[in-house]
Amino acid sequence: MKVLTRIMSLLTGILFLLASCHNNRTQQSLDSGDTIPLKYARLITLIQQDCFQIAILQNPWQPSKILHRYVLVDKNLPLPQSLPEGCTVIRTPVNRAVVYSSVHYSLLELLKATNCIDGVCDAEYILNPSLQEKIQKGEIRDYGNSMSPNLEQIMEQHPDILMPSPFEQSGSYGKLGQLGIPIVECADYMETSALGRAEWMRFYGMLFGKEAQADSLFQTIETEYKRLKKLATESRHKPSLLCEMKTGANWFVPGGNSTSGQLYQDAGAKYVFAHLENSGALPLPFEAVLEQAEDAEVWLIKYNQKEPLSYRQLKQDYEPYTHFKAWKEKRIYGCNTKYIPFYEETPFQPHLLLKDLIRLLHPELLPNEKSRYFTPLS
């Protein structure tokens, strides 16, 4: 009899909790509740309420506006009775997601959540061998180009969420936005610091039921990043640094407030375009780059091709490259992203790139470290 009484009492408590979540808590403003403190991310706010979580994404291009607002509700709980207009509800944990980039696939691999991936876009650009194997076996679908994915296949499979990276003037995603599938706008790349971008993993962890794992992983990355940043301050010399190269008529230069710009400075470099306040890349004519960076001591280039980039090829491609001091003194370092998982690893593991840059810029500080991304051009 006592056992039966205890069971009835427990059931009553559960029903009371569900009713409370369903009725009372939803009457509060969704912006109320306990804000989950974030140390570095500036474009996202996370709020914990009794029965659900809220994620508010700030518009990187119009800071006074909201890019998107999400309510994350556990699948085992009923939906709140009333929600604000324009709010996207996501039932968690997500079981089937379409991931648009290698960046977020790699993060889910770190969180041991690749079993939650229904499909990917731009599969041919993802180096991860386990992903390619899963695609070959049919365990993960290839939905084609991220700019124009196969909508018919997506509609047929109807995954839980889509995870594209938004860009300025992207609007409502056209037909993709009409499928009735929640779109998680992965605007992490617009953060102004490497740790700020990496901290978005806490939001992605909430989506996939990996909140504790994401929090633990971020703490580990933060600790190592701060250690390396402090180490870089021990070098008195800050080499001036130029990055990227001309694409078409323009040279796309990361701004001083971009994750790349901040990371170069954290590595103990004097980034020649640190004065530019933009957080994205700014297109500049070659003449403007040469004027500002002609005397840069170090030049970093990311490229994608079968053969290693060489000084000879650079000269053949565009002879004015030879005017830079880094070309004359043979201090150009390249990262061939066709074979090196730069874009898959560094966004959410910025400490790996920071270590590589410190090794390159201040070899005396990390004498036993080998190159991970950038090596001297032949």
In this structure, the answer to whether residues 319 and 265 fall within a common structural domain is: yes
What are the structure tokens assigned to 193, written together? 């610091």
What is the C-alpha separation between 16 and 196, in angstroms, rounded? 39
- Residues 213, 291, single domain; the answer is no
Residues 121 and 151 occupy one common structural domain: yes
Q: Is residue 225 in some structural domain?
A: no
Which residues have CB under 8 Å from 322's CB, separation 6+? Answer: 314, 315, 328
Reply yes or no on whether the pLDDT at 364 is more than 60: yes
Q: How many folded domains does the chain comprise? A: 2
pLDDT in tens, 254-264: 999 899 999 99
Q: What integer best gives the mean pLDDT of the chain?
A: 89
Radius of gyration of the chain (CA): 24
Residue 296 has pLDDT above 50, yes or no: yes
Task: Tell me which H or E stretch contains 303.
Answer: strand 298-303
Number of H helices, E strands in the chain: 13, 17
Residue 163 inside a domain? The answer is: yes
17 against 126, higher pLDDT: 126
| Closest listed residue to residue 224, CA positions, set 309, 351, 323 | 351
Do 153 and 252 share a structural domain? no
Q: Are 103 and 213 within one domain?
A: yes
Q: Do 300 and 199 lie in a common domain?
A: no
CATH number at residue 348: 3.40.50.1980
In which domain, by residue range, is 201 found? 2-220
Of 201, 183, 212, whose CA–CA distance to 99 is shortest? 183
| Residue 227 lies inside a defined structural domain of this protein | no
Final residue of a domain: which of 159, 189, 220?
A: 220
Q: Are residues 271 and 177 in the same domain?
A: no
Digit-coded pLDDT (tens) for 122-144 = 998 889 898 999 999 999 999 99
Residues 44 and 93 in one domain: yes
Tell me whether residue 228 is in a domain.
Answer: no
Residue 77 token pair: 């709980």
User: Any idea which residue has 């600790």 for tokens?
Assistant: 223
Place of tokens 């000269």: 315
Give the pLDDT of residue 169: 52
Q: What is the per-residue pLDDT across 48-73, written as a single tens digit (0 to 9) for each?
A: 987 889 999 999 989 899 999 999 99
Decide if 331 is inside a domain. Answer: yes
- Asked whether the beta carbons of 157 and 119 are under 8 A apart, the reply is yes
Same domain flag for 216 and 237: no
Residue 164 shares a structural domain with residue 238: no
User: Do 158 and 76 touch, CB atoms closer than 8 A?
Assistant: no
State which amino acid sits at residue 6.
R
Rounded to whole angstroms, how far apart are CA atoms 173 and 242? 35
